[in-house]
Amino acid sequence: MAGSLPIADNLLAARQLMAFTLGFHIILACIGVALPAMMLVAEYRGRKHGDEVALDLAKLWSKAAAVLFAVGAVTGTVLSFEMGLLWPRFMERWGDVFGTGFAIEGVFFFIEAIFIAIYIYGWKRVSGWAHFWSGVPIVISGIGGAFSVVAVNSWMNQPQGFRLDAAGNVVDSDPLGALFNSATTYEFPHMLLAAYMVVGFGLASIYAIGMLRHPERRRHRHYRLGLLIPLTVAAIVTPIQLYVGDVAARGIAEDQPSKFAAMECIDETGPNQTEWIGGICTDDGVKYGIGIPGLDSFLVGFSTDTVVTGLDQIPDDQEPPANTLLHLAFDAMVGIGTALMGLAAWLAFVWWRRRDIPETKWFLRAVAVSGIGAVIALESGWIVTEVGRQPWIVYQQMRTSEAVTDAGGLWFAFGGAVLLYAALGFFAVVALRRVFRDADAEAGGEGPDADLPYGPPPQPASSGGTR
């Protein structure tokens, strides 16, 4: 026991460190993938219709992007280091099987970094539509980058595209087979749409909060457009996401029965499985949850007769840990996604009837929390996919405990990372607040727009206006 303790301790520390830094980076990755699209929608509107407010928004969002992309670039680099520093055996054995995806990602990352610089720093001197077009490669490379990175994660869930010899060494690889493994088909669209939801709802929530705090801004075009552009994108994406998520869940039931059984709290294999909403998973079934008989089987195979594999079929040493956590994370993701769908439908209905944002404060309140909700759903989804794959780092090929480093001091590294990232997060928020406050000062300086001839004067900028 004494000998195995440090490794067990290392495993926990390495997993915590990876989870923390990945959980932090994934938010920034979403912003990198989807924020450029919001900027381009605004810029397109601005150029096409000569809409100065839309152009201002595009400029403002690109300033925020400048800050967040830089933070994302370094937190992403940390992950590249961690791949080797924390999981050297994983990289050693499998690096040449899944690595091609990362090499392709390198190409997209380059394109993204190059054109985001031209876009952000080119507002003054790159003119008109040329500036708009300089943003298009960013959107494309965001999608391509998301594909190649998620393909690697999918590969960990569904390792394909290699051949082993009798000793278990990789002797042949099929880079395309690894890249287009069966999990990529649902993981990639799921993550891409998640990025658009996080950014769409997140950006809209900033404007909703502003409108709630300063009611006079509700008629202000800068805020209305700032809310509407990202919220519309998110509202379009959300129903597609619910469909993709549904497909993904069925894919997981098929490809990774242990993950599915754990996240749905299924103990005994069989037909007519109950779908549990909430609750705590115990050895004697789910406690305190709401059960809908037969629904789980129906969702997996469109019939209550569908047999769903339970944890009884999974060897004890291959069962994912923390079933309740997985189950609740899955429910949180689905629940929030459904609620966001309701929000999207609300906007669509009122827009269809009145060509306007719903007037009630409750709508703004809902939008205000939708951003944080989308982030929670995102993190929950990653908990399901990563914790749900345990104890494997490469599903049914390599255990996470076999991959971990034997280097010392991982808990110190974890503590250091928490401190460093806390500072990073703090300064990023301060920087963003400043960017948006400066814009408020400018937008406020023009006064409320024509359709609000009276009402309280705009709040003078508190501190952001001067430099």
**Interface residue list for another protein (CB under 8 A):** 66-71, 73-78, 80-81, 83-85, 88-89, 91-97, 99-100, 102-107, 109-111, 113-118, 120-122, 124-126, 137, 162, 170-175, 405-408, 413, 416, 420, 424, 427-428, 430-431, 434
Task: Compare residues 118 and 277 and give the one whose CB is closer to another protein.
Answer: 118
Terminal C-alpha separation, the chain: 61
Cβ–Cβ under 8 Å, residues 226 and 439: no
Task: Compare residues 83 and 314 and give the one whose CB is closer to another protein.
Answer: 83
Least separation in angstroms between residue 3's CB and another protein is: 17
The number of helices, as runs of H, and strands, as runs of E, in the chain is: 13, 8
Specify which residues 392 forms β-bridges with.
399
Return the beta strands (E) in 159-202 as ranges.
162-164, 170-173
Q: How far is CA 429 from CA 23, 282, 425, 435, in A?
A: 17, 40, 6, 10
Least separation in angstroms between residue 19's CB and another protein is: 17
Handedness of CA 316, 319, 321, 323 (dihedral sign): negative
Give which of 57, 414, 342 is closest to 228, Cα–Cα: 57
Cβ–Cβ under 8 Å, residues 298 and 356: no
Least separation in angstroms between residue 117's CB and another protein is: 4
Least separation in angstroms between residue 147's CB and another protein is: 14
CA trace torsion 318, 324, 328, 331 (10° rounding): 60
Task: Compare residues 74 and 307 and give the one whose CB is closer to another protein.
Answer: 74
Least separation in angstroms between residue 332's CB and another protein is: 30
Q: Which amino acid belongs to residue 188? A: F
Least separation in angstroms between residue 220's CB and another protein is: 26
**Strands 280-282 vs 275-277: parallel, antiparallel or unpaired:** unpaired
Task: Compare residues 177 and 293 and give the one whose CB is closer to another protein.
Answer: 177
Handedness of CA 245, 204, 344, 355 (dihedral sign): negative
Least separation in angstroms between residue 432's CB and another protein is: 9
Task: Compare residues 120 and 194 and give the one whose CB is closer to another protein.
Answer: 120
Least separation in angstroms between residue 217's CB and another protein is: 24
Widest pairwise Cα distance in the chain: 81
Please report which helix (H) or strand (E) contains residue 298, including its range.
helix 295-301
Question: Between helices 410-445 and 52-86, what is the axis angle to 10°?
Answer: 180
Task: Compare residues 219 and 434 and give the one whose CB is closer to another protein.
Answer: 434
Q: Which amino acid belongs to residue 417? A: A
Q: How far is CA 142 from CA 14, 22, 73, in A?
A: 28, 18, 13
Least separation in angstroms between residue 20's CB and another protein is: 14
Give which of 150, 307, 333 is closest to 246, Cα–Cα: 333
Least separation in angstroms between residue 170's CB and another protein is: 6
Cβ–Cβ under 8 Å, residues 435 and 420: no
Rg (CA), the chain: 24
Cβ–Cβ under 8 Å, residues 47 and 55: yes
Task: Compare residues 113 and 369 and give the one whose CB is closer to another protein.
Answer: 113
Task: Compare residues 325 and 413 and give the one whose CB is closer to another protein.
Answer: 413
Least separation in angstroms between residue 406's CB and another protein is: 7
Specify which residues 173 forms β-bridges with.
162
Task: Compare residues 265 and 435 and give the one whose CB is closer to another protein.
Answer: 435
Task: Compare residues 4 and 466 and give the one whose CB is closer to another protein.
Answer: 466
Least separation in angstroms between residue 375's CB and another protein is: 20
CA-CA distance, 153 to 90, in Å (whole number)?
Answer: 13
Task: Compare residues 174 and 267 and give the one whose CB is closer to another protein.
Answer: 174
CA-CA distance, 216 to 208, in Å (whole number)?
Answer: 12
Task: Compare residues 8 and 74 and give the one whose CB is closer to another protein.
Answer: 74
